[in-house]
Amino acid sequence: MGKATSAEAALLLRHSHVELSSQAPDRSSWPSGGGEMGARIRGYDWNATPLGPIEDWPQSLKTAVGIMLTTRHPVFILWGPELICLYNDAYAASLGPEKHPFTLGTPAPIAWPEAYPIVEPELKQVMAGGEATWQEDYLVPIHRYGRMEEVYWTYSYGPIHNASAPNGVGGVLALIKETTHSVMAQRRSEERLRLAVAAGQLGEWELDLETDTSVRAIRHDQIFGYDQPLDEWGFEAFISHVLPEDRQQVEEKFRAAAATGSAWHLECRIQRANDGTIRWIEARGQPQRAADGRITKIYGIVGDITERKQVEEHQQILINELNHRVKNTLATVHSIATQTLRSTETAGEARGAIEGRLLALSRAHDVLTRENWEGASLKEVVAEAIAPYSHVHDNRLHAAGPDVHLVPRMALALAMALQELATNAVKYGALSNATGEVRIEWTLMRESYEPRLRLMWVERGGPPVEPPTRQGFGTRLLERSLASELNGNVSIEFLPTGLVCTVDAPLPSDQIVSW
User: Minimum mean pLDDT among 76-90, 121-135, 395-409: which range?
Assistant: 395-409
| SS3 assignment, position 112 | coil
Is residue 336 over pLDDT 70?
A: no
Q: What is the pLDDT of residue 262?
A: 84
pLDDT tens for each residue of 465-488: 888 766 655 666 677 767 777 888
Residue 10 has pLDDT above 70, yes or no: no
β-sheet bridge partners, residue 242: 270
State the Cα–Cα distance between residues 510 and 405, nearest whole angstrom.
8
Residue 15: per-residue pLDDT:
44
CB 37 within 8 A of CB 87: yes
| Amino acid at position 299, single letter | Y
Burial of 447 (0-12, 13-18, 19+ CB in 10 A): exposed
State the average pLDDT for the chain.
81
Could you count the other beta carbons within 10 Å of the beta carbon of residue 489? Answer: 13
Q: Are strands 437-447 and 450-460 parallel, antiparallel or unpaired?
A: antiparallel
* pLDDT at residue number 19: 39
Residue-by-residue DSSP string for 433-488: SSS-EEEEEEEEEEETTEEEEEEEEEEESSS-----SS--HHHHIIIIIIHHHHTS
Percent of the chain with pLDDT over 90: 34
Across-strand partners of 156? Answer: 134, 175
* Confidence label for 3 from pLDDT (cuts 50, 70 and 90): very low
Question: What pLDDT was estimated at residue 11?
Answer: 44
74, pLDDT greater than 90: yes
Q: Phi and psi (nearest 5°) for 319?
A: -65, -45
Task: Give the pLDDT of residue 334.
Answer: 59
pLDDT > 70? residue 499: yes
Q: How far apart are CA 92 and CA 37, in angstroms?
A: 8
Rounded to an integer, what distance in angstroms lies between the CA atom of residue 174 and that of residue 103?
A: 15
Can you tell me whether residue 191 is helix, strand or coil? Answer: helix
Mean pLDDT confidence for 126-151: 90
Which own/partner contact pairs does 466-470 have at CB distance under 8 Å and 24+ positions apart?
A: 466/494, 467/494, 468/494
The whole-angstrom distance between residue 438's C-alpha and the CA centroid of its chain comes to 56
- More confidently predicted of 76 and 474: 76
Q: Which of 21-25, 142-146, 213-217 has the lowest average pLDDT? A: 21-25
Instruction: Inform me whether the pLDDT recorded for 276 exceeds 70.
Output: yes
Of the two residues 416 and 14, the one the predictor is more confident about is 416
Q: Answer with the residue of higher pLDDT: 189 or 36.
A: 36
Residue 349: CB partners within 8 Å, gap ≥ 6? none
More confident residue, 3 or 378: 378
Percent of the chain with pLDDT over 70: 77
CA distance 371 to 453: 21
231 pLDDT higher than 60: yes
**26-71 per-position pLDDT tens digit:** 456 889 889 999 999 999 999 999 999 999 999 999 999 999 999 9
Q: Which helix (H) or strand (E) holds 195?
A: helix 180-199
Least confident of 190-199, 234-243, 490-499: 190-199
Its CATH class, for the domain covering 309-511, is alpha beta
Question: Is residue 149 predicted with pLDDT exceeding 80?
Answer: yes
Residue 424 pLDDT > 60: yes
Strongest mean pLDDT among 211-220, 264-273, 286-295, 379-388:
264-273
Q: Output the pLDDT for position 2.
A: 39
> Taking Cα atoms as reference points, which of 476, 474, 479 lies closest to residue 357?
474
Choose the weakest-confidence range: 40-49, 253-262, 342-351, 483-492. 342-351
Single-letter code of the amino acid located at 460: R
Residue 86, pLDDT score: 97
How far is Cα 204 from Cα 231, in angstroms, rounded to an integer?
Answer: 16
CATH 3.30.450.20 describes domain 6-183: yes
At residue 197, does pLDDT exceed 60?
no
**32-37: long-range contacts, CB 8 A cutoff, minimum separation 24:** 33/69, 33/70, 34/69, 34/70, 34/88, 34/89, 35/69, 35/88, 35/89, 36/89, 36/92, 37/69, 37/86, 37/87, 37/88, 37/89, 37/92, 37/104
- Do 6-183 and 309-511 agree at the fold level? no
CA distance linking residue 15 with residue 103, whole number of Å: 9
Highest mean pLDDT among 344-348, 432-436, 505-509: 432-436
Those residues whose C-beta lies under 8 Å from the C-beta of residue 481, and which sit 6 or more positions away, are: 335, 413, 416
**Three-state SS at 205:** strand
Residue type, 159: P
- Range with the poorest average pLDDT among 231-240, 264-273, 494-503: 231-240
pLDDT band at residue 17 under the 50/70/90 scheme: very low
At 25, the pLDDT band (50, 70, 90 cuts) reads: very low
In this predicted structure, the answer to whether residue 235 has a pLDDT above a threshold of 90 is no
Decide if pLDDT at 107 tops 70.
Answer: yes
Its CATH class, for the domain covering 200-304, is alpha beta
pLDDT given at position 199: 56
pLDDT for 7 equals 41
Q: Which tens digit of pLDDT belongs to each residue from 302-333?
A: 888 898 888 888 888 777 766 765 665 665 56
What is the C-alpha separation between 381 and 402, in angstroms, rounded? 13
Per-domain boundaries in the chain? 6-183, 200-304, 309-511
